A and B are shown apart, each in its own frame.
Chain A
Amino acid sequence: MALDGQKTAYKYIGTTPNRPDGLDKVTGRARYGADISVPGMLHGAVVRSPHAHAKIVKIDATKALAMEGVKAVITRADFPEGLEGEDWDLQENCMAGEKALYDGHAVAAVAATTPLLARDAAKLIEVTYEILPHVTDVDEAMKDGAPVIREGAADFSVPEGMHPNVVRYFDSGRGDLDKGFAEADLIIERSFTTEAAHQGYIEPHACLGQMGADGRGELWVCTQGHWFMRRMSTAVLGIETTNIRVTPSEIGGGFGGKTTIFIEPLSLALSRKAGGKPVKMVMSRNEVLRATGPTASASMDVKMGMTKDGRITAAHGTFRMQGGAFAGAPVDVTTMLAFANYDIEHVHHIGYDVITNRPRQAAYRAPGAPMAAFATESVIDELCRELGLDPIDTRLKNAAKEGTRATFGPKYGPIGFVETLEAAKAHPNYSEPLGPNQGRGVASGYWMNWGGETSASVAISEDGSVTVSVGTPDIGGSRASMALMAAEAFGIPYENVRVNISDTGALGVNEPTHGSRATYASGLATIRAAEECIGKMCKRAADKWGIDAEAVVWEDGCAKPSGPNAGEFPPMTIAEIAGEMGGTGGPISGHYEDSPAGFSGSFGTHVVDVEVDPDTGRTTILRYLVVQDAGKAIHPAYVEGQFQGGAAQGIGWALNEEYVYGEDGRLQNPVFLDYRVPVASDLPMIDTVIVEVPNPGHPYGVRGVGETGITPPLPAVANAVRDATGKRICKLPLRPSRVLAAIQGKEV
């Protein structure tokens, strides 16, 4: 009966049925965060700092509280004291204490009977500030004399003598750099910057929180991970974890940005103060852009050496990143992955995590990896140009393979980087002729993926249909993937499986849908839980037939005698076994929990063609190809969607998305009109090739696919612009004014 080892022939895996949540979403029936309403609920609004850095001298809510319909006002005084480490950071970020640390930092919140009333009341809360000097740029924040965001924020890793804004330091490598660079025929060193980019999810943060008089509460919320939500929200409020039950809504995008807390503990605190009335809170886009986490901005120096025939001999990278007013810029990952695509003997990475007066960064799709790829893959492109080498052949020559010791330490298992390069080279896009002002860019990228705490259950219904309960919110079609994997395991039609995202009361702890883990880890758990059900069903059939359970096999949705020696019995279908389970031993379900460690990374190679208007510097994407290793594509259409989505976000980051701060430290573009995410008409249809080098750590070979796709676009687009214009631009975004200045020979 067991499905030990890896399957290679599938009936359902690899098909592309409609997603089970599709109809609800296209008809508007799906319930997102802001769609949750309950009788008697109040509406919350947040007072936010207009200053980048300011001491909070006084908060006077007298006028607001005097308004008819205003039920509660909270400030930091309503939160417990004495938190430390990450919990303190979360609390400080959700509600400012002594200082407002960035433009948009929450300083108070109010609950009232209508949304408009709450908004008007928030305007009447008078906050007295003493404005302090601010800094928003990573390089400026490290300089002597830069305003200190917070003394004592640095951990043990930071060397003596650094500015207090440097809060973490990373240093890793191997080999002998001098020897490696001495072997090179050409050494190129460049400095790069990337700006902060927001995840840009369509759905703003929204929640409804309620705290009862008994100290127990409920939270309905749009989140990527409701156990994270529960742990963080209760920690900052000083409540026992289990006293809050968190139910996730449907989610309109997250990309990592919804793996932490912002307004949720405020809704619970307001509810507690308003006598237990539920409090709904919905962010505006302005709040999302000013006060939730974009990714970090980066300043980087990368130096690489290469032989004439294209072998990388050594690599050195220094990465400085700011992730807002708290430690946490993903520079650890940046250093880890900067050269991870290649087999390099001599390598060294240095990383600085720097705090500034910006919103606290949050995870964004492959956190830290795209910036590193921009620097590394740009330098490789320059080396190939100078040495007259083909960019794909050169990457093939240096590509990490099974058995290669990764630049961050461990040996790779079976991986598909070479296969992505070969497929990219063979694709017609790579040989399409280019016209005037057009250029082609190639770049590769990697994400290591993740397992994480996972708990899932599978239950057989009375008619033989199956309910799968997982704890990872469905953000990219994962319910369809879970249903396909369950259908495959049971040998029953996809339509006979229903997948639920359970609340925190129904399963063990689950990490969020992050790290490209849901299809891998919840999928693995679903398959294992299904196998437990299958074992139980085989036992029921064996008992009925009076034979040993070991003599029963499971095939095509039926229990069957394993062979002639087992006896002659007609197969029992899942429906037949389920129909009589009440009398044969009771309900049949399976459960699985683990922090699975068999995850394996996904490599990708992108090829992009651009045309640059020489008179305006405007870049048009002509063609875009994503080739990536999925391990095994459970639902190929949704895998392609992940590839295309990653590319689209990366193109936005490369071309026009950026956080623009004024001299006053205020964000200048907290609106989608000026924070320029690509619109549909900006992009061509993005071509995809799914490479499948199975991951031996998953029953069906799954690798995560969500994140790798955003890693190559930054350098791929920059390399293409270099090809089209003859100008290497080392700063992102490649907005028209910057590209035009480069074309005109100006310093950019």
Chain B
Amino acid sequence: MNYHSPSSFEEASAIAAGASGTTRFLAGGTDVLVQLRADIVTPDDLIDIKHIPGVKEISRTEDGGWRIGVAVAGAEMTECADLCADWPGVVEGMDLIGSTQVQGRATLVGNLCNGSPAADSVPGMIAAGCTVTVTGPEGSREVAVEDIPTGPGRTVLAKGELITGVTIPARGEHGGDAYLRFIPRTEMDIAVVGCAVNLRLDGDTITEARVSLGAVAPKALLVEEAANAIIGTTLDDAALDALAAAASAACNPIDDKRGTIEFRTHVAGVLAKRAAKIAYARAKGESA
């Protein structure tokens, strides 16, 4: 195994483009190193991107959004008060991953690129409308988060391509987001179902919404029908029921040791309702 520590993304991309065999980018290492130790993936080339300047920074974009570096750990996001105030759903999705120790290492981009349909940070990013910058031999492009994963353990990234940063849009007025996951325990578990809701209000009425589900399909889903079920409503009971039905209808899960098809499909609706209520309360400026 060859270990590389490039000083720029272009260099990282060039190493990956020139490598034969299995390549992994290393940031927090909370998936890559675990998979290495467990004989799941033994890379031929391990490209450590932690030492590229700026990768550990959280910064504001010109339009009031956020830029999260690829090696920013979950704990750093949780400790950024302004980010938490703007995007509590995005932050809480990241914060649910792993233990306190893992939070000191794990990253948003790592969670996304690991390609797990159950990744906790991904529905929150999708609901928020986040994009990532993909850098490769052909240059850089912006890609919506929902377009990155293509199936379990797989992403759209081509050989030599890597993600070089996450952009979270400006929060704007009267918006709120939330992420909930279902696990049998209270901590240290993998989502059986995950759901993020992001919405904006005009008075009491929802004018914009994005709903994303995790762990109920081969990849995290952006569910337009679920968003449409609450846009134009005040999140009354009928809207909530329609939301739940749309969320459940979008599910295409598997039966496995973590949950059944039936259970996941039902609970997706339950979580969609609960997450929507929290996002709605946050949008109204109420504590939730």
Q: Give the interface of A toward B (CB within 8 A).
A: 123, 286, 615-618, 655-656, 660, 668-669, 672-674, 676, 678-679, 681-682, 735-737, 740-741
Q: A674–B258 contact, CB under 8 A?
A: yes
Q: A682 with B185: in contact, given A674-B257, A674-B258 (CB under 8 Å)?
A: yes
**Whole-angstrom CA separation of A286 from B39 in the bound complex:** 12
Query: Is B263 part of the contact surface with A, judged by Cβ < 8 Å?
Result: yes
Q: How far is the CA of A67 from the CA of B267 in the complex (A)?
A: 52
Q: Which of B152-160, B186-194, B204-212, B278-286 lines the interface with chain A? A: B186-194
B270 touches A669 (CB 8 A): no
- Encoded as 1 (CB less than 8 Å from any A CB) or 0, chain B from 251 to 286 comes to 000001111101100110010000000000000000
- Selected from B39, B184, B186, B187, the residue in CB contact (under 8 A) with A736 is B184
Q: A616-B270, A674-B258 are in contact. Are A736 and B188 (CB under 8 A)?
A: no
Chain B residues packing against A (C-beta within 8 Å): 38-39, 182, 184-190, 192, 256-260, 262-263, 266-267, 270
Determine whether the beta carbon of A681 is less than 8 Å from that of B186: yes
Q: Given contacts A616-B267, A737-B263, are A669 and B185 in contact (CB under 8 A)?
A: no
- Contact indicator B185/A678 (Cβ below 8 Å): yes
B185→A740 contact, CB < 8 A = no
Q: Which 3 A-B pairs have the closest CB atoms?
A: A737-B263, A681-B186, A615-B270
Residues of B within 8 A of A615 (CB): 267, 270
- Shortest Cβ distance from A733 into B: residue: B184
A617-B183 Cα distance, complex, nearest whole Å: 11
CA distance A92 to B189 in the complex (A): 36
Chain A residues, CB < 8 A from B260: 737
Chain A residues near B266 (CB-CB < 8 A)? 740
Please determine whether A682 and B263 come into contact, CB atoms closer than 8 angstroms.
Answer: no
Assess whether B189 is in contact with A740, with CB atoms less than 8 Å apart: no
Assuming the contacts A616-B267, A674-B258, asked whether A655 and B184 have C-beta atoms less than 8 A apart, the reply is yes
CB atoms of A737 and B259 under 8 A apart = yes
Structural contact, A740 and B263, CB atoms closer than 8 A: yes
In the assembled complex, the CB of B159 is this many whole angstroms from the nearest CB of chain A, namely: 27
Q: Which residues of B contact A616 (CB under 8 A)?
A: 182, 267, 270
B184→A681 contact, CB < 8 A: no
Whether B186 and A669, one on each chain, are in contact in the complex, defined by CB atoms closer than 8 angstroms, is: no
Q: A737–B189 Cα gap in the complex (Å)?
A: 16
Which DSSP category, helix, strand, loop or mixed, fits chain A's interface?
A: loop
Q: Which residues of B contact A735 (CB under 8 A)?
A: 184
Write the nearest CB–CB distance from A634 to chain B, whole angstroms.
Answer: 34
**Docked pose: A737 CA to B190 CA in angstroms:** 15
Tell me which residues across on chain A come within 8 A of B259, comparing CB atoms.
737
Measured CB to CB, the nearest residue on chain A to B193 is A616
Given A615-B270, A618-B182, A656-B184, 12 more A-B residue pairs with CB atoms under 8 Å apart are A123-B39, A655-B184, A668-B257, A673-B188, A676-B184, A679-B186, A679-B187, A736-B182, A736-B184, A737-B260, A740-B266, A741-B263
Q: List 13 A-B contacts (CB under 8 A).
A: A616-B267, A616-B270, A618-B182, A618-B184, A655-B184, A674-B190, A676-B184, A678-B185, A679-B185, A679-B187, A682-B186, A737-B260, A737-B262
State which of B189, B192, B270 has its C-beta within 8 Å of the C-beta of A673.
Answer: B189
Chain B residue nearest in CB terms to A671? B38
Q: Is the CB of A673 within 8 A of B190?
A: yes
Bound state CA distance, A475 and B187, in angstroms?
Answer: 27
Contacts of A617 in B (CB 8 A): 263
Q: Is the CB of B187 within 8 A of A681?
A: yes
For B188, the chain A residues whose CB sits under 8 A away are: 672-673, 679
Contact call B185/A656, Cβ cutoff below 8 A: yes
How many Å from the CB of A684 to the closest CB on chain B? 11
Residue in B182, B257, B267 whose beta carbon sits within 8 Å of that of A669 in the complex? B257
Residues of chain A with a CB closer than 8 A to B190's CB: 673-674
B252 to chain A, nearest CB (A): 18
* Residues in B whose Cβ lies below 8 Å from that of A737: 259-260, 262-263
Nearest chain B residue, comparing its CB with the CB of A735: B184
CA distance A533 to B256 in the complex (A): 63
Q: State the Cβ distance, A667 to closest chain B Cβ, in Å.
A: 10
> How near does chain A come to B270, taking the closest CB pair, in angstroms?
4
- Identify the closest chain B residue to A284 (Cβ): B38
Q: Are A736 and B257 in contact (CB under 8 A)?
A: no
Q: Report the minimal beta-carbon distance from A154 to chain B, rounded to whole angstroms.
A: 33
How many angstroms between the C-alpha atoms of A517 and B17 in the bound complex? 64
Which chain A positions have C-beta within 8 A of B185? 656, 676, 678-679, 681-682
Contacts of A674 on B, CB cut-off 8 Å?
190, 257-258
Which residues of A are found within 8 Å of B187, using beta-carbon distances? 679, 681-682
Question: Bound state CA distance, A655 and B184, in angstroms?
Answer: 9
Residue from B184, B190, B260 whose CB has the most chain A CB atoms within 10 Å: B184
Q: Give B255's nearest chain A residue, CB to CB.
A: A737
Distance (whole angstroms) from the CB of A666 to the closest CB of chain B: 11
B-chain residues with CB within 8 Å of residue A655 when the two chains form the complex: 184
- Give, as a whole number of angstroms, the nearest-CB distance from B55 to chain A: 28
Nearest residue (CB) in A for B38 is A286
Chain A residues, CB < 8 A from B39: 123
Q: Once bound together, how far apart are the Cα atoms of A72 and B259, in whole Å? A: 44
Report the separation of the CA atoms of residues A286 and B38 in the bound assembly, to the nearest whole angstrom. 9
Bound state CA distance, A676 and B189, in angstroms?
8
The docked-state distance in angstroms from the alpha carbon of A682 to that of B184 is 10
A681 to B185, CA, bound (A): 8
Which residues of chain A are near B38, meaning CB under 8 Å? 286
A655 to B186, CA, bound (A): 13
The answer for the CA separation of A628 and B182 in the assembled complex, in Å, is 35
Question: What is the minimal beta-carbon distance from A618 to any residue of chain B, in angstroms?
Answer: 7
Q: How far is the CB of B209 from chain A (nearest CB, A)?
A: 21
Chain B neighbourhood of A123, CB < 8 A: 39
Q: What residue in chain B is nearest A674 (Cβ atoms)?
A: B257
Give chain A residues whose Cβ lies under 8 Å from the Cβ of B258: 674
Name the residue on B nearest A619 (C-beta).
Answer: B184
A740 to B270, CA, bound (A): 12
**Smallest CB–CB gap between B61 and chain A, Å?**
36
Separation of A741 and B270 alpha carbons in the complex (Å): 15
Write the chain B residue with the least CB distance to A652: B185
**CB closest residue in chain A, given B182:** A616
Nearest CB on B from A382, distance (A): 26
Q: How far is the CA of A615 from the CA of B269 in the complex (A)?
A: 10
B183 shortest CB reach to chain A, Å = 9
Bound-state Cα–Cα, A11 to B182, Å? 52
The winner among A656, A674, A737 for most chain B CB atoms within 10 A is: A737
Structural contact, B270 and A736, CB atoms closer than 8 A: no
B267: A residues at CB distance < 8 A: 615-616, 740
Collect the chain B residues with CB atoms within 8 Å of residue A618's CB: 182, 184
Shortest CB–CB separation between residue B4 and chain A, in angstroms? Answer: 21
Complex CA distance for A673 and B187, rounded to whole angstroms: 10
Measured CA separation A631–B162 after assembly (Å): 66
Bound complex: CA A682 to CA B185 (Å): 6
Provide the bound-state CA to CA distance between A682 and B186, in Å: 6
- Tell me how far the C-beta of B131 lies from the nearest C-beta in chain A, rounded to whole angstroms: 30
A656 to B185, CA, bound (A): 8
Q: Would you give the shortest CB distance from B75 to chain A, in whole angstroms?
A: 18
| Chain B, residue nearest A119 (CB) | B39
Nearest opposing residue in chain A for B269, CB measure: A615
Inter-chain contacts of A656 with B (CB < 8 A): 184-185
Complex Cα distance A569/B189, Å?
70
> In the bound complex, how far is the Cα of B270 from the Cα of A543, in angstroms?
84
Nearest Cβ distance between residue B44 and chain A, in whole angstroms?
Answer: 15
- Separation of A74 and B259 alpha carbons in the complex (Å): 41
Please measure, in the bound complex, the distance between the C-alpha atom of A737 and the C-alpha atom of B255, giving whole angstroms.
Answer: 11
A525→B2 CA distance, assembly (Å): 60
Residue of B nearest to A618 (CB): B184
- How far is it, in angstroms, between the C-alpha of A673 and the C-alpha of B256 when the chains are bound? 14
Chain B residue nearest in CB terms to A683: B186
Closest Cβ neighbor of A617 among chain B residues: B263
CB of B245 to closest CB in A, whole Å: 14
